[in-house]
Amino acid sequence: MADYYTLLTNAGIAYETACKAAGLPIKLTQISVGDGGGAVYNPAATATALKREVWRGPLNALFQDEKNPSWLLAEVTIPPDVGGWYVREAGLWTDTGILYAIVKYPESFKPVLATSGSGKEFYIRSIFETSNASLVTLQIDDTVVKATRAWVMSYLAEELGKLDGKQSVRVAAPANVVLNGAQQIDGVAVIAGDRVLLPNQTLAKDNGLWIVANGDWVRANDANVSAKVTPGLTVMVEEGTLNGDSLWHLTTNAPITLGTTALTFKMLAGRTGITAGTYKSLSVDEYGRATAGSNPDTLAGFGIKDSYTKAEVEALIAKASALPVGSIVAFPVDTPPPGFLELDNSVKSSATYPDLSAYLGGKFNKGDEGVGNFRLPEARGEFLRGWDHGRGVDAGRQLGSFQADDFKSHSHRYFDDVAANIDPFGGTAAGIVNGVVTPPVTGGFLSTSGPDSNNLTSPTTTVNSGGIETRPRNIAVMWCIKAWNAPVNQGNIDVAALTAELEKMKSAVPVGALMPFPAGVVPPGYLEANGSLFQDALYPHLATYLNKKFNIVGDDASYTRLPDTRGEFLRGWDHGRGVDAGRTIGSWQKASEHVFDIGSSISTVSDRNASSSPDTALLDMGYDAVNVADYPGAQYTVSVINASSTVVNSDQLAFGGTRPRNLAVMWCIKAWNTPVNQGTIDIASLEQRVIKNEFGRLLNIQKFTANGTYVPSPGMKKVRIRIVGGGAGSGGASATASGQVSASGGGAAGSYAEALLTAEEIGASQSVIVGLAGIAGLASGTTGTSGGTGGATSVGALLSAPGGLGSIFSIAVSTVGYALYVGGYPGAPSSGGNLLNMPGAPGYPGISVNGSTLAGHGGSGPLGAGGSGYGIGASIQNGTGYGGGGGGVANGPSMAARNGAPGAGGVVIFEEYA
């Protein structure tokens, strides 16, 4: 027998036997120590008490030995404030007062400060063997139990070692290292005792925390058993060129068997190789870290594929402007806006204005323009007339050709007893010359069948009256032609001014342009040119452009008056040409007056046969009524044989203004362009037409992730519907032998549909079915199931989007060679979408090449991403968002079968517009 020992007493054995028979636990509560009666002795099993007990207290701990489960270890700490005796014996007591075991203890003095001059804690550990250690329990009173410093430190070290947060390591190896001896790792010379993180070992089971040694390395104490290597383990790295000052964590899921399970460590935070700076484009990993950055300066550099390049935009603007090159627009002031040239018959460079030159094609050239030039049309002082183009009203004309003024053919008649002349501008009557009466003329007609024919067919003639041309009443405007659209400098156009226009979202029709409309509705952005006043603050751009040009005395200084074009023709401003000299732009010009006899008397001169009513005669003969006060010098004389008199015979004469044939339109002036309310323009209408592309104002969004009924919100006029079917699950991966791997493909995404429908097409309500996510494929040993198909999503009978198909269960294959595991196929295409119908994306296949294995990614759709397929042992990645397919799973050698991942459910989204 050993010199010092612990043995069960006969009473303890009997107590243990009784407890076993009754199925009750053995409860040990106290330990006592004695001085052996003053001498060392050998305890016997027959003892029922110590020889001489000097102290008794509760047990601190009672536990099994790690290497021998039948051994029990009992511990107690004797506090420093008791003692003054030797310890030579100890006893373990049950809760019923039975001495269960007795200990022969090495003689040791327990001092006490009061009498011995020093004091200390006294720690006793007793080891004894029992036939059924699992029955033995310890009852502890926490208020009196004390632990030794060594025990506490040991216990804390063990428990802290099981926490996720670990003590930092000096370096993290960028690649595989040999687990032996001092060496260079990530630019740092590690020596014996250094802690090192190995995340990239060839055999992933060897990854983890290690202690450098001159011989073979050992795992760090806080990560040397399975219980201390937990999913989510984190550790900071202190030094290193690549990995210094970084934070790593273990992504491998439980259960983990250290030395067997492949461990995957990934950097959570730290250096990623990207230089500090500001970047427009970033690549980000799954932890949100920027891993790459660039500063592209083109759309292609940003990966944008659904837009035009600068050159394409310029070409589109040039070809598809709302006001194309070559359009002729009237302006009531003398400043052509950016992009326009006055039609003044001047010569321009084709290189400077290539678009306009190509459009006109030299049509107005005279032959003296010189090489590389072209001539503009001449519109100064001219009216513009619609090209006949085969109608027959103005036959024989070429487009752009000039036509001189003319007077419609008609006749003036006279009789033997009366000679008449009309001189509305104060001329002398033809029948009286220097006081001498002209002899009477017998028989004949006054013929005015052409511009040069205004003479009587007899020697008696009338005096020509009127102006130098036949014209309607009109307003002088500057006719300009649209010269260019592309935002590049052409000629001497002010690009800065154009840029300012574009910044304010200017349209192709600039502010101040006069435009005709054949209906009496003023469109958004325009005001009728009716001579009214508007407040400058409401239309600041138009007020600046007109600059009070049409204001009259008495107008408020904060208001601007519009030009009045009602009932007027527009005539090209002369601008120095000499055809209509002396005019200022925007000025009014009265009509050429024509006085005619209404034919109520046989002694009158008459145009054709008119009514005796002046008003009816004006209407029948096609003249405009004129205000005689506008012609202050007019007089009308009648000559009779041997006598004369000057009369104004309102019963027989009528006064009218001439005009060309015409079409009535409402002239409106462009008032504003910017998308803010100016004046009384209907912003809601403009917003719908321009900003929201006819969708209307967003009213509400309803989203369904489960079956239900869609009821339109009050006021809904249109609804944009987006639906996606459920994503499919991925198949399982079979169990593998030592020389095998397995990986399944990803599940397919659900199909997608998009439609824009009216309230009438939707009706009072629609049933909504949302496709469920495809379930994960199962795995058991070498057999399993494929991933489930995603459910179909639908909106009544209007739209339908089937779900994706799952990938098949993957079998194990040899690590030598390669294998391809098919991903899930897309389901049927969606239907009912008048904006978009598309099938779901297929799942990616899993691959294996010489033991390197990667599971397939799940298919992604417009509303949800597929789960990622990672390498061996990585966590399962479900489909995310809406309609994404589940990611595949991968198994390495000697791994248990794994189930696949589920997909993501579908969705229906209603965007309602008022």
Q: Is residue 609 part of a domain?
A: yes
Distance CA 299, CA 331 (A): 39
How do residues 626-665 score in pLDDT, each as one tens digit? Answer: 776 777 655 444 443 333 333 344 445 666 777 787 777 7
φ, ψ for residue 93, nearest 5 deg = -120, 140
* Mean per-residue pLDDT, 728-756: 92
Residue 117 sits in the same domain as residue 71: yes
Which of these, 230, 210, 212, 231, lies nearest to 221 by C-alpha position? 210
Residue 497 — very low, low, confident or very high, per pLDDT cuts 50/70/90? low
Residue 353 has pLDDT above 50, yes or no: yes
Q: What is the average per-residue pLDDT within 499-526?
A: 68
Q: Residues of 807-839 as b/e, b for ≥16 C-beta within 10 angstroms?
A: bbbbbbbebeeebebbbbbbbebbebbeeebbb
683 and 734 belong to one structural domain = no
At residue 729, the pLDDT reads 95
Backbone angles phi, psi at 629, to 5 degrees: -65, -20
pLDDT at position 827, please? Answer: 80
pLDDT at position 245: 92
Question: Do 886 and 782 sit in the same domain of this protein?
Answer: yes
Which helix (H) or strand (E) covers residue 847, if one does?
A: strand 846-849
If one counts the domains in the chain, the total is 4
Instruction: Dump the DSSP string for 190-256.
Output: E-TT-EEEE---SSGGG-EEEE--SSB-EE-GGGSSGGGS-TT-EEEE---TTTTTEEEEE-PPSP-
Out of 669, 691, 713, a domain closes at 691
CB atoms within 10 A of CB 386: 11
**pLDDT band of 576, cuts 50, 70, 90:** confident
Show which of 159, 191, 225 is a domain's final residue: 159
Looking at the structure, tell me whether residues 748 and 808 fall in a common domain.
yes
pLDDT-wise least confident of 280-294, 333-347, 511-525, 722-736: 511-525
pLDDT at 408 over 80: no
Residue 283 has pLDDT above 80, yes or no: yes
- Check whether residue 632 and residue 722 sit in a common domain: no
Residue 700, in any domain of the structure: yes
pLDDT score of 12 more than 70: yes
Statement to judge: residues 111 and 213 lie in one domain: no
The larger pLDDT score, comparing residue 692 to residue 619, is at 619
Q: Looking at 125, 142, 159, which one is the last position of a domain?
A: 159
Compute the average pLDDT of residues 10-15. Answer: 91
My answer on whether 716 and 831 are in the same domain is yes
Which range of residues forms the domain containing residue 152? 6-159
| pLDDT tens profile 788-832 | 999 999 999 999 999 999 999 998 888 888 888 888 888 888 999
Average confidence score pLDDT of the chain: 78
Q: Does 609 lie in the same domain as 563?
A: yes
Termini Cα distance of the chain: 99
Residue 400: the pLDDT is 75
Q: Are residues 715 and 815 in the same domain?
A: yes
Is the residue at 485 inside a domain? no
Say if residue 141 is in the same domain as residue 174. no
* Residue at 116 is within a domain: yes
Residue 118 lies in a domain: yes
Of 382-396, 410-424, 743-757, the one with minimum mean pLDDT is 410-424
User: Which residues have a Cβ under 8 Å from the Cβ of 275 and sit 6 or more positions away?
Assistant: 293
- What local confidence, expressed as pLDDT, does residue 611 receive? 60
> Does the pTM exceed 0.75?
no
- When mean pLDDT is compared across 89-93, 172-176, 299-303, the lowest value belongs to 299-303
Tell me: the pLDDT tens digits for 83-140? 889 999 999 999 999 999 998 888 988 888 767 666 677 777 777 776 654 555 444 4
Task: Tell me the mean pLDDT in the region 189-204.
Answer: 95
pLDDT grade, residue 10 (50/70/90)? very high
> Of 225-229, 236-240, 404-408, 754-758, which gets the smallest average pLDDT?
404-408
Give strand pairing partners of 340: 482
Establish if 298 belongs to a structural domain: no
Where is mean pLDDT largest: 500-514, 521-535, 541-555? 541-555
218 and 204, same domain (yes or no): yes
Least confident of 223-232, 279-288, 346-355, 423-432: 423-432
Q: Which two tokens stand for residue 174?
A: 């960028």
**Measured between alpha carbons, how far is residue 27 from residues 23, 32, 95, 101, 134 in Å?**
12, 16, 6, 13, 11
> With 50 as the cut, is the pLDDT of residue 385 above it?
yes
User: Is 898 part of a structural domain of the chain?
Assistant: yes
* Pick from 224-228, 306-310, 642-646: least confident: 642-646
Q: What is the DSSP string of 72-141?
A: EEEEEEE-TTS-SEEEEEEEEEETTS-EEEEEEEEEEEE--HHHHS----EEEEEEEE-S-GGGEEE---
Per-residue model confidence (pLDDT) at position 589: 81
Task: Cis check for the bond before 255: say yes or no (omega within 30 of 0).
Answer: yes
pLDDT at 879: 85
Q: Please check whether residues 542 and 679 belong to one and the same domain.
A: yes
Split at pLDDT 50, 70, 90, the class of 422 is: very low
For residue 432, the model assigns a pLDDT of: 32
| Position 178 in a domain | yes
Question: Does residue 81 have a pLDDT over 50?
Answer: yes
Instruction: Say whether 871 sits in a helix, a strand or coil.
Output: strand
Residue 839 pLDDT level (bands cut at 50, 70, 90): very high
Q: Which band of pLDDT confidence, cut at 50, 70 and 90, is reported for residue 684?
A: very low
Neighbours of 383 (CB within 10 A): 17
Does the pLDDT value for residue 602 go beyond 60? no
pLDDT reported for residue 828: 84
